[in-house]
Structure 1
Amino acid sequence: MAHQDEPCRILVMASGNGSNFQALIDAIAGDAIPNSRITRLIVNRAKAFATTRAEKAGIPWEYFNMISNGFLAKGEKDETKIAEARKQYDAALAEKILKLDERPELIVLAGWMWVFSSEFLRPLEEVGIKVINLHPALPGQFDGAHAIERAYEDLKAGKIQYTGIMVHYVIQEVDRGDPIMIQEIEWEGEDLEALEAKIHEHEHELIVKATAKVVREIVEARRK
């Protein structure tokens, strides 16, 4: 159990460049997310640049992947085997997190390209670990992958006037957990690349604000 005045322990999960992870590192260093620290980074892609960022910041990291760690044979096409491997991987990842010496109180998915099953979410929920995710779309609009591209097509077609981003709690239904913070982003006729850049810029700010809000709630709950 965390002492009521200890910094909130945050574990970050990322799959790629890790620019949102960097935004969290900088925000904690600059006190924009007070009373917290990142205890570990987990990546599921071997070449994720996020690991370089972790090393620079002195944050321990590890690579844990469904194929490399032996849950699924490379090139396997059997849907049943894939589904079973996903469950085993999720359960093993949850167990790995629960066994950490510094068990996190909050997990932030910062560009984590993987959809979790209840095998991952349930064990964490049982011990009160919160899991939050950044998604580049508004609630209920473009759940799942390629959200920015899908929004762009609808913007061009005049079906929507704006898009947005949100940070939400993670539940089994993809991108359907309760939103923590939402931000609408206007489209000013820019191309896909420029729209993506604009969205990513806002993401860094929103993930920091939403993480700070959840951290505050976690620390306050300890005092009750």
Structure 2
Amino acid sequence: MAQNTDSEQCSILVMASGNGSNFQALIDAVTSGQIPNSRITQLVVNRGKAYATKRAEANNIPWEYFNLISHGFQSKTDTDPAKLQQARENYDAALAKKILASDQRPDLIVLAGWMYIFGEHFLDPITAEGIRVINLHPALPGKYDGVNAIERAYEDFKAGRLEGNKTGIMVHYVIKQVDRGEPLMTREIEIQQGEELEQLKERIHENEHQLIVEATAKVVREIMAAKSQ
């Protein structure tokens, strides 16, 4: 049977920083065809001990470690805000250039537990080339932007400040404003009375695995429809 050509497949680059359980969900969904007409061409990690790399190796997916400090963009001792900002801009630009120069240039970038905020020096050149960038975030649109979203929602729940006792998750397009891009899919999750934080995290992660697959499949279908025109 003839292999699909690039025009018949959506090339996906995944970025992760840790365990990579959402990366694994994407791998499984591509393999099963739940994410159709697609292949994961590369994993990029920004933490040297990210277990996601083991998942990549087990599935014959190339991976690369690219870090702000280890690759010389920022010194551990830098405290000057201007230098720190310049370092991030240089890192963003270098990573964008690396991706665009690759023989495996992606159609879609999925941030699956990527613990780093991209600025315009990454997003502008990537999106200018028509590459879509989506992110998974464990909160609903406009709620708990940034880090520790689950913990902050849980604290509000315990304090009686969480409306309807509901938090949630979303997959959204990535823009310069943190977690404020257009939502692709959302899912509400009600926090249960007596539930501990770790129990909530486990339930949220289970839902994340489903939502990131569904949202990625949706975007892939849109990309492939555009390719066929």
Q: TM-score range by the shorter chain?
A: over 0.9
What SS is found at the alignment partner of 1:42?
strand
Asked if the contact 1:42/1:61 (under 8 Å) is kept, the reply is yes
What SS is found at the alignment partner of 1:173?
coil
Measure how far apart 1:98 and its partner are: 0.1
Q: What letter is aligned with 1:122?
A: D
Specify the alignment match of 1:156 in structure 2: 158
Specify the alignment match of 2:169 in structure 1: 165
Q: What letter is aligned with 1:127?
A: E
Asked if the contact 1:91/1:120 (under 8 Å) is kept, the reply is yes
Measure how far apart 1:102 and its partner are: 1.2
Partners of 1:149 and 1:86 in 2: how far apart?
27
Measure how far apart 1:103 and its partner are: 0.4
Partners of 2:62 and 2:225 in 1: how far apart?
27
Specify the alignment match of 2:12 in structure 1: 10
Specify the alignment match of 2:217 in structure 1: 212
What SS is found at the alignment partner of 2:185?
strand
Measure how far apart 1:3 and its partner are: 6.3
Q: Which of 113, 123, 147 is equivalent to 2:149?
A: 147
Measure how far apart 1:75 and its partner are: 2.5
Q: What letter is aligned with 1:36?
A: S
What SS is found at the alignment partner of 1:182?
strand
Q: 1:51-200 alignment to 2 at 5 Å?
A: 51-160=53-162, 161-189=165-193, 190-200=195-205
Asked if the contact 1:8/1:35 (under 8 Å) is kept, the reply is yes
> Structure 1 residues 4 and 96 mapped into 2: Cα distance closer, same or farther (>3 Å)?
closer
For structure 2, list consecutive stretches of 5 or more residues without a partner in the other structure.
Answer: none
Partners of 2:36 and 2:65 in 1: how far apart?
28
- TM-score, scaled to structure 1: 0.97
Q: What letter is aligned with 2:226?
A: A
What SS is found at the alignment partner of 1:124?
helix
For structure 1, list consecutive stretches of 5 or more residues without a partner in the other structure.
Answer: none
Coordinate RMSD, CA, aligned? 1.2
Partners of 1:24 and 1:102 in 2: how far apart?
18
Measure how far apart 1:54 and its partner are: 0.2
Number of matched pairs: 223
Find runs of 4+ consecutive structure 1 residues off by over 2 angstroms. Answer: 2-5
Identity among equivalent positions (%) equals 64
> Structure 1 residues 81 and 182 mapped into 2: Cα distance closer, same or farther (>3 Å)?
same
